[in-house]
C-alpha cells in the first residue's frame, strides 16, 4: 500500500507548477502526465511479452522440474523417514487448495465444478496415480537422483510397447535405437552404483538399500506405464479441460492417501520426532508445501512451453532436461561421481535426445498420412503424461 501511495504522489507532483496563466490550461510544451491506465497497460504489455517468450517458458519448465525432483529427494532422504503416504497427501491437499484459491481470484476460469459421475469413472485412474507417485517417492528414497533419472527412462519403453499392443502404435528403428541406449545406460548405472556400494565400509547395508531401490523402481515403471496408458484410454470420453485432469487426480487421491497413511504408517509421537527432527523440521514443512505448489507449476509450465513453442521443442527440452536433473543430484546430495556414473548419465542423456528426435520424425511422417483415431489430449493431460516420464 505504501508503494501505491508513493506512486500516486510522484505522479501528481508536476501538477502544482504546470498551470498556464491563460485560462488554467496546461502548457502544450509540457508533456502529459502519465496516467494510471497507461502504467497498467505498460505492465500488461511487459507481462504479455514474458508470457509469449519461448525462452522464458523453457527456463521456467526446467526450473520447475529440477526443483521438484530436488525437493522430493530432500524430503524423503532422511535416514528415519517413513511417512510417504502422509507426504503425498499434503502434496494433494496443497495442490487442491491452491487451485481453489486461483479459481476464486479469477486466475483459473475454465475449471468445471466437480462431477460425481466423472469422479467415479476417473477414480481407477487416480488409484493408478497413487501407485505411481508412492513407488516414485520410495525409489527416490533409496536411489540417488542420477540413477533414479536414468531408470525412469525405462518407463518410456514400456509405454511405447503398451501403445503398440492396445492403441495400434508403432516403434520406429530410431526409437528402437534409443530404447537400446536407455537399457544400456540403466545397466551401466546399476553396475557403477553396486560397485561403489561394495567398496564402502558398510557394503552389505548399502547393497541392501540399492536392491530395495531397484525393486521399487521396477514397480514404479509398471505403475507409471499403467497410469499413462489408462489415462489415455479414458481421457477422451471425459472431455476434460486444462485444469480438470489435475483437479480430479489430486481431489480423488486425498482420501486414499489419508486412509493409507492412518492405517499403514506409524503416527506415534516417537516416530513423528524421528521423521521431523527439530533441526530440519521447518525446512521439511516448507519442502512439503512447495512440492504441492510445484505440481501446479510443472503442469502450468509444461502447457506454457507447448503453447508458445511447439510439441517438438517441448519434447527436446524434456530430453535435454534429464542432464541438469541428474547433475543436480551430484551437486545437492553428494551422489558418487565415478566413471561409470558419469558414463551412465551421458548415455541416458543421448538416449533421450535420440528418442525425442525419433518422435519428431514420426510426427512429421504422420502429417502425410490420413488422420487416425488416436485421441487428442489437452495441454494439461499431455504435460501430465510427459511429467510421468520425466
- Residue with cell string 482420501: 255
| Interval 299-341: pLDDT, tens | 888 878 878 877 667 777 887 888 888 888 888 887 888 898 8
Q: Alpha carbon of 291 to those of 59, 78, 273, 285, 317: distances in Å?
A: 18, 16, 21, 10, 22
Task: Give the pLDDT of residue 271.
Answer: 95
Task: Give the pLDDT of residue 127.
Answer: 94
Show the CA angle centred on residue 156, arms to residues 329 and 370, nearest 5°.
140
Measure the CA–CA gap between 367 and 355, rounded to whole angstroms: 19
Task: Give the pLDDT of residue 2.
Answer: 47
Confidence of residue 386 (pLDDT cuts 50, 70, 90): low
Question: In this structure, are residues 302 and 387 in contact, taking their beta carbons and an 8 Å threshold?
Answer: yes
The dihedral built from the CA positions of residue 112, 114, 120 and 123, taken in this order, carries a sign that is: positive
Task: Give the pLDDT of residue 136.
Answer: 94
Confidence of residue 101 (pLDDT cuts 50, 70, 90): very high
Question: In this structure, are residues 89 and 264 in contact, taking their beta carbons and an 8 Å threshold?
Answer: no
Going by the DSSP 8-state scheme, the letter that residue 30 receives in this structure is S
| Interval 134-164: pLDDT, tens | 999 999 999 999 999 999 989 999 999 998 8
Question: In this structure, are residues 246 and 109 in contact, taking their beta carbons and an 8 Å threshold?
Answer: no
pLDDT (mean) for 363-373:
64
Confidence of residue 13 (pLDDT cuts 50, 70, 90): very low
Residue 169 has pLDDT above 50, yes or no: yes
| Contacting residues for 87 by C-beta, under 8 A, at least 6 apart | 75, 76, 137, 288, 291
Give the pTM.
0.79
| Interval 38-62: pLDDT, tens | 555 676 677 677 778 888 888 998 9
Task: Give the pLDDT of residue 321.
Answer: 84
Residue 236 has pLDDT above 50, yes or no: yes
Amino acid at each position: 500500500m505504501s508503494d501505491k501511495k508513493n506512486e500516486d504522489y510522484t505522479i501528481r507532483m508536476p501538477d502544482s507548477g504546470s498551470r498556464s496563466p491563460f485560462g488554467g490550461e496546461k502548457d502544450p510544451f509540457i508533456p502529459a502526465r502519465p496516467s494510471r491506465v497507461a502504467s497498467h497497460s505498460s505492465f500488461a504489455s511487459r507481462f504479455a511479452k514474458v508470457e509469449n517468450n519461448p525462452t522464458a517458458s523453457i527456463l521456467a519448465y526446467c526450473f520447475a522440474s529440477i526443483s521438484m525432483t530436488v525437493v522430493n529427494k530432500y524430503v524423503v532422504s532422511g535416514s528415519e523417514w517413513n511417512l510417504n503416504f502422509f507426504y503425498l497427501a499434503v502434496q494433494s491437499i496443497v495442490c487442491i487448495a491452491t487451485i481453489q484459491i486461483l479459481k476464486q481470484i479469477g486466475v483459473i476460469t475454465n475449471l468445471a465444478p466437480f462431477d460425481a459421475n466423472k469422479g467415479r469413472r476417473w477414480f481407477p485412474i487416480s488409484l493408478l496415480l497413487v501407485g505411481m507417485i508412492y513407488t516414485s517417492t520410495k525409489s527416490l528414497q533409496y536411489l540417488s537422483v542420477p540413477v533414479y533419472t536414468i531408470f525412469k527412462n525405462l518407463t518410456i519403453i514400456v509405454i511405447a510397447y503398451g501403445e503398440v499392443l492396445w492403441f495400434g502404435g508403432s516403434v520406429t528403428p530410431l526409437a528402437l535405437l534409443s530404447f537400446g541406449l536407455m537399457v544400456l545406460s540403466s545397466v551401466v548405472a546399476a553396475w557403477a552404483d553396486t560397485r561403489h556400494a561394495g567398496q564402502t565400509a558398510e557394503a552389505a547395508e548399502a547393497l541392501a538399500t540399492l536392491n530395495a531401490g531397484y525393486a521399487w523402481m521396477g514397480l514404479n515403471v509398471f505403475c507409471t506405464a499403467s497410469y499413462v496408458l489408462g489415462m489415455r484410454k479414458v481421457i477422451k470420453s471425459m472431455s476434460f479441460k486444462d485444469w480438470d485432469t489435475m483437479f480430479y487426480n489430486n481431489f480423488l487421491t486425498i482420501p486414499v492417501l489419508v486412509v493409507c497413511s492412518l492405517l499403514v504408517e506409524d503416527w506415534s509421537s516417537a516416530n513423528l520426532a524421528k521423521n521431523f527432527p527439530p533441526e530440519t523440521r521447518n525446512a521439511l514443512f516448507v519442502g512439503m508445501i512447495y512440492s504441492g505448489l510445484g505440481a501446479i507449476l510443472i503442469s502450468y509450465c509444461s502447457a506454457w512451453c507447448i503453447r508458445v513453442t511447439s510439441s517438438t521443442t517441448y519434447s527436446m527440452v524434456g530430453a535435454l532436461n534429464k542432464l541438469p536433473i541428474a547433475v543436480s543430484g551430484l551437486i545437492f546430495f553428494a551422489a558418487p561421481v565415478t566413471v561409470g556414473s558419469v558414463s551412465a548419465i551421458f548415455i541416458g542423456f543421448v538416449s533421450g535426445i535420440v528418442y525425442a528426435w525419433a518422435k519428431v520424425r514420426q510426427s512429421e511422417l504422420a502429417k502425410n498420412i490420413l488422420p487416425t483415431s488416436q485421441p487428442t489430449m489437452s495441454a494439461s493431460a499431455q504435460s501430465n503424461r510427459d511429467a510421468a516420464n520425466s
